Structure 1
């Protein structure tokens, strides 16, 4: 029987998959499917599963399948069903049929989510919830909002772009010592003709699209301006075309594998933009907010553009004068930092991040600001600043008073001229921070 089984396995070397591709035949997959059916019926029996798997192999040859006529996945599963029934295991066959039905439903749902008729390797291995997030946020779409790339293509474009920074620092190209002059203008000219280089070059089997090529140019220009490029950009392209850097395909494959195994995933802007027109990979930008209306609105505009590109922002609001402070130009009173945080919060809500998700903010106020109590307690009410995480900047002078002073008196200062704006009890303030954090998980502390 063992010899017969071995001969059968040797004669059937491949299996035709649902997408039409062919892969190596693996008897263990039949065995595992049968064993799972037994386990689902609370009758786990490994020895019986092995015997039935051998029976399926025999039926495959009886039905004319061979090395020249590989069976399909569906054919194998049909024979598993018939073998279970023929051997008197109709209850197990029922479990197996239900298992096939559920798997079919999952496949169909995945294909619907990805807008495809065939699942690639990532589509098969990732669960449906992962694919929903991928489709809604990360996969490229056309001007009709139709998905235009497969999950494997997403991870390939990311892996290629990330690996370019390694390639450009290859010993043939790069020296950290500097002092080498290259024709920067000649290299920059390539930026004007990106379409001519779309998929023209490759690293191993990985083709560079025009946005990868743009990244290569920009990396070169950045290092060439520092005198760190040993060769001209034209020489670099000659070396690339002659497969001088094909070893970096292993780096690309390694990074690709880390992502597709879900051992590591980069931040959302990288998933959204790497290898694409925008090319914005940063998740967080620090913006200033000086205390004048023009600067405040400029920061608001900058934040909106960052949200659109897929990034988030961090702003220290401590320079804004406190609520009720006189505004000399209008003889009115200032509305305070928290009111301007509400403006940024509204902009965040309106401008979906990268057109795919809502943005995020980090808001900071330093502990000496006269509006610090309002800042600390503002998020204890539901629905307030929902697009913000907030933190209090707590510096050494505050800690010294908190630890060493019995009365705990801490001087608040005006952002306008640094003059005294009253006192607050440091012990009361730290208690207020703790109570608010317990109630709403905000604020954090920066010190």
Structure 2
């Protein structure tokens, strides 16, 4: 949504000089359109009106209002009133200036008896108007002579070379052996008249990326150019700004944090408790300079896998991401704002980094923060499938899994309940393997499962061959990691070129819990029993 109905109007990269007759005639029958301050015409939608009114309430009533059902209901009602006003005025469709929409928001707030909120909204509009006037005076558009940018509504605007130069210069700040002019010249070679804005950003990133082999510092440059795209996507979705330079983020991060928390709670992606933090204090603690620390691969990985998104739009920026994790870790602390700031400083400075599940889940509705979960699978069908179910649920929220399968009886063991014989551990491991593939850590990365088996288990030979590329595919697990627990006694037998006996745990159930000397004595006792027919029914002797 491009309509500027929020309480911010940062400078666009390619502002229009006016509304053309073509823009106005493009209005479809029955469709409302909005004339933005830069002259472009876009379809009317009311989501940014909702954001603007919500922010006005938050400014007056504090961050805790984000979780208030009264505020949500009031905002929805007022938004509907504003939209209904324009539909009554223009039942056949038409164009509305952005200022008219904001006038109606003020009027709706006053009629609803929300005088304090309306007053704050008026003051905020006035402040933003002064800022826009200052920006216009300081930074006139430096248009490229032959390249125009195609806008979302099909119109064109000149490529602002001044802002392009600012973005590239910022990306090269403080870095040795990098050339801003080279990046700009090579980027312009890849642009053409009518290019989309997103393709301009892509061209910048790809140009810098090709130079990394020449000089490693270009990896930092590439990351900083990518940040420009991330800022436009995140801030635009939050209704804070349409775009921003790195230096403008010194103020915008503090404004974006409460808007981010409100959106995250609204979309049921964040824990409502986050709205109870002192977001103003936390916003002031955010250090925008730490955005400059990323290499390209690091930032791209965060964007692809870690940032919270809605319908594919990432509205979490790097420093907000670290603050969200810090807030999630500090929820149960006494002085939680102070602790959150401590956690934030550790994470954002890269002095310490939490594990992936913590980064994924801290501050969300399902804060599963641990990395690894170790379980022992019991020797009964119900217990086995309960363990597989636990695997699926833990993997869903990014947990890595380790399953001890040693207690499960071996291939050929007697099953009293059915008077049949067991198929052993391997068929169940095939199910575990496929579960890890299906429940791939919430769609963010591959599932990670490791199966453990002791060396004396009858199925150990098949277990070792699980990832071979030949043999029966039903007894192969290409995605499953496996681990063989080896007792000291086995290594002694290897050194002595001795024999080794394999057992089914259903006949030697106590071996699994023994270690050291106790294990050796009990293992040798069972070996001795194999000399007596019928004492141990299922065993196999091989060279260690």
Instruction: State the TM-score, normalizing by the size of structure 1.
Output: 0.52
Q: How does 1:243-322 map to 2 (within 5 A)?
A: 248=339, 251-259=342-350, 264-322=352-410
Counterpart of 1:223 in structure 2 is none
Q: How does 1:60-209 map to 2 (within 5 A)?
A: 75=162, 95=182, 97-98=184-185, 101=188, 104=201, 105-106=204-205, 107=225, 111=229, 115-116=233-234, 118=243, 121=288, 126-142=294-310, 144-162=311-329, 164=330
**Secondary structure, in 3 states, of the residue corresponding to 1:335?**
coil
**Secondary structure, in 3 states, of the residue corresponding to 1:134?**
helix
**CA RMSD across the alignment:** 3.8
Quick one: distance in 2 between partners of 1:124 and 1:316? 44
Q: CA deviation at 1:326?
A: 2.7
Counterpart of 2:543 in structure 1 is 425
Taking a change above 3 Å as real, the CA distance of residues 311 and 94 of structure 1, as seen in their structure-2 partners, is closer
- Aligned residues between the structures: 272
Taking a change above 3 Å as real, the CA distance of residues 360 and 110 of structure 1, as seen in their structure-2 partners, is farther
Counterpart of 2:434 in structure 1 is 346
Counterpart of 2:479 in structure 1 is 387
8 Å Cα contact 2:347-2:354 kept in structure 1: no
Quick one: distance in 2 between partners of 1:114 and 1:139? 15
Q: CA deviation at 1:396?
A: 1.8
Counterpart of 1:84 in structure 2 is none
Taking a change above 3 Å as real, the CA distance of residues 18 and 298 of structure 1, as seen in their structure-2 partners, is same
Quick one: distance in 2 between partners of 1:308 and 1:322? 30
Counterpart of 1:434 in structure 2 is none
Name structure 2 gaps, 5 residues minimum: 1-9, 14-133, 141-159, 169-178, 191-199, 206-224, 237-242, 250-287, 509-535
Instruction: State the TM-score, normalizing by the size of structure 2.
Output: 0.44
Q: 393, 396, 406: which is aligned to 2:488?
A: 396
Quick one: distance in 1 between partners of 2:432 and 2:232? 34
**Secondary structure, in 3 states, of the residue corresponding to 1:287?**
strand
Quick one: distance in 2 between partners of 1:379 and 1:350? 18
8 Å Cα contact 2:230-2:317 kept in structure 1: no
Q: 503, 508, 512: which is aligned to 1:413?
A: 503
Counterpart of 1:361 in structure 2 is 449
Q: CA deviation at 1:338?
A: 1.4
Q: Which moved more, 1:292-301 or 1:130-139?
A: 130-139
